[in-house]
């Protein structure tokens, strides 16, 4: 990404906070930090002036003056320490406020309109590791933006202040060229400019590849971390397959990318370290060399000589912003690229250009109308062609067909999740819809909150929760309502599916979609749960996806898909309920 594009992207990311509802507190904190920065520069200038006085009284063997200089320095140092401490505190407060606001914004955008789900389908690996972008990249963006911008401001003010001192102490130096005398005013300033310019050019030339390498390094680190998380989340399956060797090879494949990329980084950083360290060391003697002619010609005294060296070092540090900050600049550019791409990916998946519409019919209260809906695979293959259905409240439909024919995908389309869809779905007014997947989501939380996830419109008592657990044959969990565990790991798939039915009975939807929700249950438990559904939710429309023939008896109609786009609705099948 070009420099101008990077700056525009960084401004796009940053400006939202500085013009948000928190703008006044943000600007107040920023201006406070800037004010303290300016205070630090002022104190630094006073210490530079003190250098001239201190070394002069030493040269003059002035003991009272020496004691006075020590007292002056102690006062300046105390003020510097106090101002620096407050400046760091306010800066960190601004940092955490900005990070909190950006994290809330990105997290909200990621979760809005099922973006987190669509990113996996429509963008794939291009939007890798959104967790890292929200957690680490935002933190790095805020930290590096504040540090680089405030350091740049402080360097500019420092250079501006000390350039005046250097200019006044430089005097005039005359260069003779074949009888022609050229006066150079402020030669110490021009020498500093020249030295910093050469150093900056060499640093940029040597360190340019770091930008891309830092970008890749963050991605490889996240990929490696995710491969380890996959092992943890699928520990039982891997153990049963004895797949430890394969998983180790897979993890090391990701880790090898880290090693390979990092070797390139350390080679460049080694060269940069040689360059910047040599630059810093040479600058110490360079300032003495350029100032020495005036001293040896008795144009300045010893105190002014040390003042020039100190001022030159400050100017040199200010001029060397890019040299000293190049690694951070490379990391900052990589972070800006990642966050900007993340924004673009989220905007892309939310820009729904399909002809699919899922809308609420305000004049309809008991019928879900599917009008000429086509469901496609991501590669464009038409799984379901021009399906048209009217599902009335209280109706029970079983969606059946061979594996891969689009049964679950059709449910995703009805839920508004599947982006590769066209047609129209009219949803009844006041429809309370619930979609239950084959593997229900189990948050890491108290069991009580797991049972009512993601939340109920009504309050429920512990007694009701306990009764529902017993009803769904989970009585062994009745004394664990206050326990906080990783329930996805603690419970078997069958237990998790029964938890899903507890949620269903507590939610009491009038439109229920079940995607192989009993696949891990025995037939007796399946019959018990479906019987309860029909008994407790008599007015609810139930649309089930499944392969088992045992499901037929719980439904009145069957929607059969053939996998080639064809479909057929069979009415009044052999139902026993």
pLDDT of residue 341: 86
What is the spatial distance between Cα 423 and Cα 372, in angstroms, rounded to a whole number?
5
| 335 burial type by CB count under 10 A (0-12 exposed, 13-18 middle, 19+ buried) | buried
pLDDT of residue 357: 61
83-97, 130-144, 410-424: which has the highest mean pLDDT? 83-97
Sign of CA dihedral 501, 503, 506, 507: negative
pLDDT of residue 431: 80
Average pLDDT rounded to a whole number, residues 85-102: 94
| Residue predicted with more confidence, 266 or 313 | 266
Q: Provide the pLDDT confidence category of residue 309 given band limits of 50, 70 and 90.
A: confident
| Residue predicted with more confidence, 234 or 256 | 256
Percent of the chain topping pLDDT 90: 32
pLDDT at 383 over 60: yes
Backbone angles phi, psi at 174, to 5 degrees: -110, 130
Average pLDDT rounded to a whole number, residues 73-92: 93
Domains of the chain: 3-350 (1.20.1560.10), 357-570 (3.40.50.300)
Average pLDDT rounded to a whole number, residues 272-290: 82
| Residue predicted with more confidence, 396 or 418 | 396
| 176 burial type by CB count under 10 A (0-12 exposed, 13-18 middle, 19+ buried) | exposed
| Residue predicted with more confidence, 350 or 72 | 72
pLDDT of residue 98: 95
Q: Provide the pLDDT confidence category of residue 473 given band limits of 50, 70 and 90.
A: very high
pLDDT tens, residue by residue, 437-449:
988 888 889 999 9
Sheet order of strands, 421-428 included = 356-361, 421-428, 367-376, 382-392
Q: Are 377 and 558 in contact (CB under 8 A)?
A: no
Q: Tell me which residue of 261, 265, 211 sits closest to 1, measured CA to CA.
A: 211
Average the pLDDT over each of 281-290, 403-412, 541-550 and give the range with the smallest value. Answer: 281-290
pLDDT at 258 over 60: yes
Q: Tell me which residue of 72, 83, 199, 92 sits closest to 146, measured CA to CA.
A: 92
Contacts of 498 (CB under 8 A, 6+ apart): 472, 473, 474, 521, 525, 529
Q: Tell me which residue of 92, 145, 118, 209 sits closest to 339, measured CA to CA.
A: 145
Q: Provide the pLDDT confidence category of residue 418 given band limits of 50, 70 and 90.
A: confident
Q: Are 339 and 17 in contact (CB under 8 A)?
A: no
pLDDT tens, residue by residue, 324-351:
777 788 888 888 988 888 888 888 877 7
Average pLDDT rounded to a whole number, residues 228-253: 84
Q: Tell me which residue of 125, 143, 94, 132 sits closest to 110, measured CA to CA.
A: 132
What is the spatial distance between Cα 91 and Cα 344, in angstroms, rounded to a whole number?
30
pLDDT of residue 361: 58
| Residue predicted with more confidence, 5 or 558 | 558
What is the spatial distance between Cα 382 and Cα 380, in angstroms, rounded to a whole number?
6
Q: Are 303 and 56 in contact (CB under 8 A)?
A: yes
pLDDT of residue 289: 83
pLDDT of residue 420: 83
Q: Within its chain, how far is the Cα of 133 from the centroid?
A: 2
Q: What is the DSSP string of 131-180?
A: HHIIIIIHHHHHHHHHHHHHHHHHHHHHHHHHHHHHHHHH-EEEEEETTE
pLDDT at 362 over 90: no
pLDDT at 575 over 60: no
Q: What is the 3-state secondary structure (H, E, C) of 321-361?
A: HHHHHHHHHHHHHHHHHHHHHHHHHHHHHHCCCCCEEEEEE
| Residue predicted with more confidence, 471 or 242 | 471
Q: Tell me which residue of 313, 236, 256 sits closest to 280, measured CA to CA.
A: 313
Q: How far is CA 186 from CA 164, 167, 198, in A?
A: 9, 5, 19
| Residue predicted with more confidence, 362 or 556 | 556
What is the spatial distance between Cα 539 and Cα 393, in angstroms, rounded to a whole number?
6
pLDDT at 256 over 70: yes
- For residue 522, the SS3 value is coil
pLDDT of residue 337: 87
pLDDT of residue 570: 86
Q: Provide the pLDDT confidence category of residue 360 given band limits of 50, 70 and 90.
A: low
Q: Are 464 and 478 in contact (CB under 8 A)?
A: no
90-99, 190-199, 246-255: which has the highest mean pLDDT? 90-99
Residue 520 CB: number of other CB atoms within 10 A?
Answer: 17
What is the spatial distance between Cα 65 and Cα 54, in angstroms, rounded to a whole number?
8
What is the spatial distance between Cα 388 and Cα 374, in angstroms, rounded to a whole number?
10
pLDDT of residue 364: 64
Q: Provide the pLDDT confidence category of residue 496 given band limits of 50, 70 and 90.
A: very high
Residue 524 CB: number of other CB atoms within 10 A?
Answer: 9
What is the spatial distance between Cα 40 and Cα 355, in angstroms, rounded to a whole number?
61
Q: Facing residues of 158 across strands?
A: none
Average pLDDT rounded to a whole number, residues 251-278: 90
Q: Are 261 and 213 in contact (CB under 8 A)?
A: yes
Q: Are 407 and 565 in contact (CB under 8 A)?
A: no
pLDDT at 355 over 60: no
Note the maximum CA span of the chain.
117
pLDDT at 33 over 90: yes
pLDDT tens, residue by residue, 152-164:
888 888 888 878 8
Q: Provide the pLDDT confidence category of residue 88 given band limits of 50, 70 and 90.
A: very high
């Amino acid at each position: 990404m070009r420099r101008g594009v990077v700056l525009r992207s960084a401004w796009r990311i940053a400006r939202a906070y500085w013009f948000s509802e928190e703008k006044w507190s943000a600007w107040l904190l920023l201006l406070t930090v800037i004010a303290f920065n300016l205070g630090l520069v002022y104190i630094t200038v006073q210490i530079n002036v003190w250098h001239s006085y201190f070394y002069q009284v030493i040269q003059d063997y002035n003991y009272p003056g020496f004691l006075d200089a020590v007292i002056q320095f102690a006062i300046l140092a105390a003020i510097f320490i106090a101002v620096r401490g407050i400046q760091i505190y306010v800066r960190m407060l601004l940092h955490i406020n900005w990070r909190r606001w950006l994290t809330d914004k990105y997290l909200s955008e990621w979760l809005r309109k099922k973006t987190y789900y669509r990113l996996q389908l429509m963008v794939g690996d291009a939007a890798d590791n959104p967790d890292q972008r929200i957690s680490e990249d935002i933190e790095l963006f805020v930290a590096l933006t504040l540090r680089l911008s405030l350091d740049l401001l402080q360097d500019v003010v420092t250079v501006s202040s000390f350039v005046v001192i250097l200019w006044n102490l430089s005097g005039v130096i005359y260069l003779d060229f074949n009888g022609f005398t050229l006066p150079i005013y402020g030669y110490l300033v021009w020498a500093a400019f020249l030295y910093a310019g050469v150093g900056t050019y060499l640093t940029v030339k040597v360190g340019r590849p770091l930008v891309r390498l830092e970008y890749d390094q963050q991605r490889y680190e996240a990929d490696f971390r995710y491969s380890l998380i996959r092992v943890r989340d699928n520990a039982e399956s891997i153990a049963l397959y004895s797949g430890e060797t394969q998983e180790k090879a897979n993890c090391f494949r990701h880790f090898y990318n880290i090693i390979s990329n990092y070797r390139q980084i350390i080679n460049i950083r080694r060269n940069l370290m040689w360059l910047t360290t040599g630059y810093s060391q040479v600058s110490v003697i360079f300032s003495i060399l350029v100032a020495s002619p005036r001293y040896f010609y008795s144009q300045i005294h010893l105190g002014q000589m040390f003042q020039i060296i100190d001022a030159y070092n400050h100017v040199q540090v200010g001029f060397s912003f890019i040299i000293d900050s190049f690694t951070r600049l490379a990391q900052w550019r990589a972070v800006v690229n990642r966050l900007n791409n993340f924004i673009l990916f989220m905007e892309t998946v939310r820009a729904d250009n399909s002809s699919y519409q899922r809308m609420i019919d305000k004049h309809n209260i008991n019928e879900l109308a599917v009008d000429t809906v086509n469901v496609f695979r991501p590669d464009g293959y038409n799984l379901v062609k021009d399906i048209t259905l009217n599902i009335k409240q209280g109706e029970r439909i079983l969606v059946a067909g061979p594996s891969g024919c689009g049964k679950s995908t059709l449910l995703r389309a009805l839920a508004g999740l599947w982006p590769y869809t066209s047609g129209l779905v009219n949803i009844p007014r006041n429809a309370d819809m619930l979609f239950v997947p084959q593997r229900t989501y189990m948050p890491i939380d108290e069991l009580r909150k797991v049972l009512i996830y993601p939340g109920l419109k009504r309050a429920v008592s512990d007694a009701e929760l306990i009764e529902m657990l017993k009803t769904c044959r989970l009585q062994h969990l009745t004394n664990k309502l206050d326990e906080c565990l990783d329930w996805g790991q603690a419970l078997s798939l069958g237990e998790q599916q029964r938890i899903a039915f507890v949620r269903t009975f507590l939610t009491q939807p009038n439109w229920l979609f079940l995607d192989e929700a009993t696949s891990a249950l025995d037939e007796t438990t399946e019959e018990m749960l479906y019987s309860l559904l029909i008994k407790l939710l008599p007015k609810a429309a139930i649309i089930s996806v499944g392969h088992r023939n045992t499901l037929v008896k719980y439904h009145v109609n069957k929607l059969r898909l053939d996998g080639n786009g064809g479909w057929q609705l069979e009415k009044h099948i052999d139902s026993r309920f």
